[in-house]
Amino acid sequence: MSNSRLAVAAEWEPNPPPEAPAAPDSLKEAGLSAGFVGDMLLRALYTRGTMLGRDLALLLCLPFKVVRDPLRFLKDEKCIQVDGGDLVGEVSYKFSLTDLGRKRAQEAMEQCAYVGPAPVPLEDYVEQCYRQTVTGLQCYPEALRAPFSHLVLKEEMFTALGPAIISGRSVFIYGPPGNGKTAMARAIGDFMNTTGGSVYIPYAFVADGNIITVFDPSLHVVDDTAAEVEEGDAAVRRLLTAGAADQRWVRIRRPVIVTGGELNLSMLDLRYNAEANFYQAPIHFKANGGVFLIDDFGRQLVSPKELLNRWILPLEDRHDFLTVASGKKFQVPFEQLIIFSTNLDPKDLVDDAFLRRIRHKVGITAPTRDVYEKIFAGQCKRLGMNFDPAAVGYLYERYYDRGRTPRASDCRDLLETVQSICRYRRQPVHLTRDLIVEASASFIAEFQ
């Protein structure tokens, strides 16, 4: 490596996380009204029974000083009562609903049954998204190679992928099946997930009185590398400490959302819970700050044209619109690296107007023989078997030199078949020309 490249490698550091949103000191700073928080407190007591003041604050992820006034108001209105406590103060009081409070809580549940962390205002969410965009992330060859280490790629492939990641714009990865398009797209996601730094997303946000949940534990990976797990008294002290982070936000690794043939237009709209009267953010919205991968593009139940028309404006203007049941729309950021991966010819899927909006196109071709041999050897190592050049020679002699296009995935599939044959015969897993002849007759025969 040259001195200049060594200098770049020495200077490179992982992308730092953005500054955590600060905890609010008042209802005004929280962006919520006393009535809104009061209804959340009523719903919490209605669904969970008697609770300590500190536990109510923990549930709503708000400092106790923010929920103190709504609690006092509900007490003055005879909606809640204090069943006991110690000398610590209101934070240790036991609160429960009165008969009037139970009636009010039922009315609040009918309006919205959401119980959990208090939402942040839409404006705060939008501002935070623009603080942690995918555009302009640090990405150097030395950092990018690690998540691709299991793949055999030529240097020009890194040259194409690096600028695409830095741009934060859309990427079209295309080519014949079985040559690593999905693996490459997922490796980009791994880079963003582990090296791209972390982002903050809210549990939920509120827009025009509507609660929209964002954090999804099935899709988002909490980044706890720099955080201490707080329990019991430590969590209470945090609630009472000025200058702490706003607990309505979750620090996660940059999200990587993967979807395939199941994607349809309804998944790109708010999902309304008719019984609970609140919304869940659409799947692509949960990828803000990270990667949204559409695998097997063109094989969805909905036509490619319909899907692409849905994204023309977001790709161009970097924002999208969400519509609530009343018909009102509100603008939200579209800050994500969107990757289309397809086996089909892009010209058969999209027109020139859309291709122009996809900034980077990366074509994946069938591997050359030297690359194929490296992939084959790598798979042998993974499976714990010897590498036999005669096995590769047979495949080219029998199949690839006679018209069958080599696929990178053939190496894995054929060698795993060899492994199965050896195990079935209760013999050590090994590779010979004869075994590859037998495996290929089973795997490739139908394509002759």
Residue pLDDT, tens place only, 339-376: 888 887 777 777 777 777 777 888 888 889 999 999 99
- Cα distance between residue 158 and residue 181, in whole Å: 14
Mention every residue, 6+ apart, whose C-beta is less than 8 A from residue 329.
321, 322, 323
Q: Give the pLDDT mean for 56-65.
A: 95
Residue 322 pLDDT > 80 = yes
Residue 140: which of 253, 18, 13 has the closest Cα?
A: 13
Q: Is 120 exposed, middle or buried (0-12, 13-18, 19+ CB in 10 A)?
A: buried
**What pLDDT is stored for residue 2 in this prediction?**
41
Confidence bin at 422 (pLDDT 50/70/90): very high
**What pLDDT is stored for residue 314 in this prediction?**
84
Q: Range with the lowest mean pLDDT among 55-64, 219-228, 300-309, 425-434?
A: 219-228
**What pLDDT is stored for residue 70 in this prediction?**
95
Q: Does domain 126-135+159-220+255-363 have CATH number 3.40.50.300?
A: yes
Confidence bin at 10 (pLDDT 50/70/90): very low
Q: Give the pLDDT mean for 314-327.
A: 86
- Cα distance between residue 444 and residue 448, in whole Å: 7
Please give the structure tokens belonging to residue 153: 């790629």
Q: How far is CA 406 from CA 375, 409, 411, 438, in A?
A: 12, 9, 9, 18
Domain residue extents for the chain: 27-117, 126-135+159-220+255-363, 369-447
**What pLDDT is stored for residue 176 in this prediction?**
82
Greater pLDDT, 79 or 239 = 79
* Dihedral angle, C-alpha 339, 267, 308, 130, nearest 10 °: -60
Q: Range with the lowest mean pLDDT among 213-217, 312-316, 440-444?
A: 312-316
Residue 3 pLDDT > 50 = no
CATH of 27-117, picked from 1.10.10.10, 3.10.20.30, 2.40.10.120, 3.30.70.260, is 1.10.10.10
Confidence bin at 239 (pLDDT 50/70/90): low
**What pLDDT is stored for residue 14 in this prediction?**
63
The DSSP output letter for 217 is: T
Q: Give the pLDDT mean for 23-32.
A: 94
**Mean residue pLDDT across the chain:** 85
Residue 448 pLDDT > 70 = no
Q: Is 345 exposed, middle or buried (0-12, 13-18, 19+ CB in 10 A)?
A: exposed
- Cα distance between residue 234 and residue 150, in whole Å: 42
Q: What is the pLDDT of residues 165-184, one digit of tens each?
A: 777 778 888 888 877 777 88
Confidence bin at 74 (pLDDT 50/70/90): very high
Q: What is the pLDDT of residues 85-135, one digit of tens each?
A: 665 678 888 999 999 999 999 999 999 999 999 999 999 999 999 888 888
Confidence bin at 240 (pLDDT 50/70/90): low
- Cα distance between residue 167 and residue 136, in whole Å: 6
Whether 27-117 shares its CATH topology with 126-135+159-220+255-363 is answered no
- Cα distance between residue 163 and residue 293, in whole Å: 18
- Cα distance between residue 206 and residue 208, in whole Å: 7
Helix H, strand E, coil C: the string for 360-423 is: EEEECCCCCHHHHHHHHHHHHHHHCCCCCHHHHHHHHHHCHHHCCCCCHHHHHHHHHHHHHHHH
Most confident of 121-130, 173-182, 185-194, 311-320: 121-130
**What pLDDT is stored for residue 237 in this prediction?**
55
**What pLDDT is stored for residue 8 in this prediction?**
40
- Of the chain, the end-to-end C-alpha distance in Å amounts to 46
Sign of the torsion angle spanned by Cα atoms 254, 145, 164, 8: positive
